[in-house]
């Protein structure tokens, strides 16, 4: 727990609060103890408030809609599970025997709930400033990366906005292959601009494949520039004109 507190950036006065935040309902049921569900309820609200405050302070030029999108991408289940793994929370989870045997320690939903519970515990133990410090330490770089994608993970929207600012040609996504059995199918998509193929990507769903194709296209466009500029876009489109599908 001391190592976890170091990674979290906060040392608890009440260690029982921290231990409770690790206690999944399956363990609580088997051992007649308190689960982390109430702390999770509190932490969910505290996390949203502190992330909102961080975004308000550090991204004053974003619109309300963009701030909402950025917050949603930050506090979503995969994001919180990623942070949980980074700080070693999975190692401290208290799970029931059945939950542990079926891979619960690596399940995103359990990890994100436990992280919210830990935030709730930190709020009760150290107050709002304590949580704000934790949020800045654990999320600052990740939020910056999200913001830099310009679509906060929605690469199709980012690509569409970029192209439509500089061209009136249509953007079309085509699924060019489906491979594997139904339960493990992989899709490959191409993104077209007019008569040119701009990029290709693969994923476990058609939507994921289209997002990957958009992401790769954006990466190619900005490969010679620090930004998705009109000049970088036009240079990329010129390179694609003579390419045959």
Is 44 tagged catalytic? yes
3 catalytic residue (yes or no): no
Cα–Cα distance measured from residue 80 to residue 198, given in angstroms and rounded to the nearest whole number? 33
Q: Which one is catalytic: 40, 99, 113, 116?
A: 116
Tokens 């304590």 sit on residue: 130
Q: Given 44, 113, 125, 210, which residue is catalytic?
A: 44
Residues annotated as catalytic (active site), given as ranges: 44, 116
């Amino acid at each position: 727990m001391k190592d976890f507190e170091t990674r979290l950036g906060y040392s608890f006065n009440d260690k029982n609060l921290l231990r409770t935040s690790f206690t999944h309902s399956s363990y609580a049921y088997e051992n007649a103890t308190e689960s982390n569900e109430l702390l999770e309820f509190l932490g969910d609200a505290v996390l949203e408030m502190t992330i909102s405050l961080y975004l308000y302070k550090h991204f004053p030029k974003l619109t309300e809609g963009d701030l909402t999108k950025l917050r949603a991408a930050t506090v979503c289940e995969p994001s919180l599970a990623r942070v949980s793994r980074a700080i070693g929370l999975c190692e401290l989870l208290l799970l029931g025997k059945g939950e542990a045997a079926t891979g619960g320690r690596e399940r995103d939903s359990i990890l994100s709930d436990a992280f919210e519970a830990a935030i709730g515990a930190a709020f009760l133990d150290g107050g709002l400033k304590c949580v704000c410090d934790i949020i800045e330490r654990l999320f600052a770089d990740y939020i910056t990366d999200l913001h830099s994608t310009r679509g906060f993970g929605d690469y199709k929207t980012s690509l569409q906005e970029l192209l439509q600012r500089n061209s009136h040609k249509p953007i079309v996504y085509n699924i060019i292959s489906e491979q594997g059995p139904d339960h493990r199918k992989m899709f490959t998509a191409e993104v077209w601009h007019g008569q040119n193929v701009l990029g290709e990507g693969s994923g476990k769903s058609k939507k994921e494949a289209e997002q990957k194709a958009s992401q790769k296209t954006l990466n190619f466009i900005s490969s010679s520039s620090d930004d998705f500029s009109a000049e970088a876009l036009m240079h990329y489109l010129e390179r694609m004109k003579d390419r045959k599908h």
